[in-house]
Amino acid sequence: MKNKRITITGGKGFLGKHLIKAFQNHGHDNIAVADLPDYNLIDLHDIRRLYAETKPDIVVHLAAKVGGIGFNRENPGALFYDNIMMGVQLIHEGYLHRIDKFVALGTICAYPKFTPVPFKEDDLWNGYPEETNAPYGLAKKMMLVQSQAYRQQYGFNSIFLLPVNLYGPGDNFDPRSSHVIPALIKKCVDAMIRGEKEIIVWGSGQATREFFYVEDAAEAIVLATERYNKSDPVNIGAGFEISIRDLVELIAELTGFPGGIVWDSTQPDGQPRRMLDTSKALTEIGFRAATDFRAGLRKTISWYEAEGSGGS
């Protein structure tokens, strides 16, 4: 694989930057990035141009339109259309160009709302996703259907990975579209800068989430690209859960925020619980997450304080 040409969609993004480093650490140097503004991955002409110009042997599809609960609630149509059009057209053109492998990144949002914890890959079709995530989750999940159908009919080698919520240095801290960890870090750090006495957090705090350090995620994707060639989806994550209430208290502690926390129970919690069964990742690709959660949070907070908080 060392001489294969790898094209990473969304390679300028949060995960993409870490993934490029991970591939390079594994000896893969022939890497191209396909991202805005150079390529509009919803546009078929641009996707065809991507294949013509980067000439990939392997495509790793990270690019996505994605956000937190508020963003999902406000943009269900765009989230469905943009994500499904990217995936469908990229896989189809990859098949037409006879590439060696397509690596599709799905989302934990594809799982049913009341999936038993820990989420096993076999549970993926046992119900409808949580409502605020459903358009995004189902659009990404269609890549699994397409991947399996194209392998069955055409022998096309594509795989589907299901990462849990990512966090880490370089995350998206834009309050309009960020996920829970960067949103909470920003709230705490900004409140201290402004001398505010409290922060407001959505929901009840009872929901649980699993969080996956971005460097660990990048390592898992590289290992799957190198080692996994089957139709069945594979969860990649850290294999633990924490309540949002405990998460808020931990982030307040690590940022040094001394103020109060006000829970806005008029806002939704989202999916009640989330945690992946990651045993298949261990047996199939030899991956186990390595980063301690507190240590990962400290690195993320330090990055925001040094790089991100100036634009608050």
Phi-psi category of 78—alpha, beta or left, where left has phi over 0 and alpha has psi -120 to 50? alpha
Does 228 qualify as catalytic in the annotation?
A: no
How many Å apart are CA 44 and CA 88, to the nearest integer? 10
**DSSP-derived secondary structure for the chain:** -TT--EEEETTTSHHHHHHHHHHHHTT---EEEE-TTT--TTSHHHHHHHHHHH--SEEEE-------HHHHHH-HHHHHHHHHHHHHHHHHHHHHTT-SEEEEE--GGGSBTTPPSSBPGGGTTSSPBPTTTHHHHHHHHHHHHHHHHHHHHH---EEEEEE-EEE-TT----TTT--HHHHHHHHHHHHHHHT-SEEEEES-S--EE-EEEHHHHHHHHHHHHHH---SS-EEES----EEHHHHHHHHHHHHT--SEEEEETTS---SS---B--HHHHHHH-------HHHHHHHHHHHIIIIIGGG-
Among candidate residues 39, 95, 136, 228, the one labeled active-site is 136
Question: Which residues does the annotation mark as catalytic?
Answer: 136
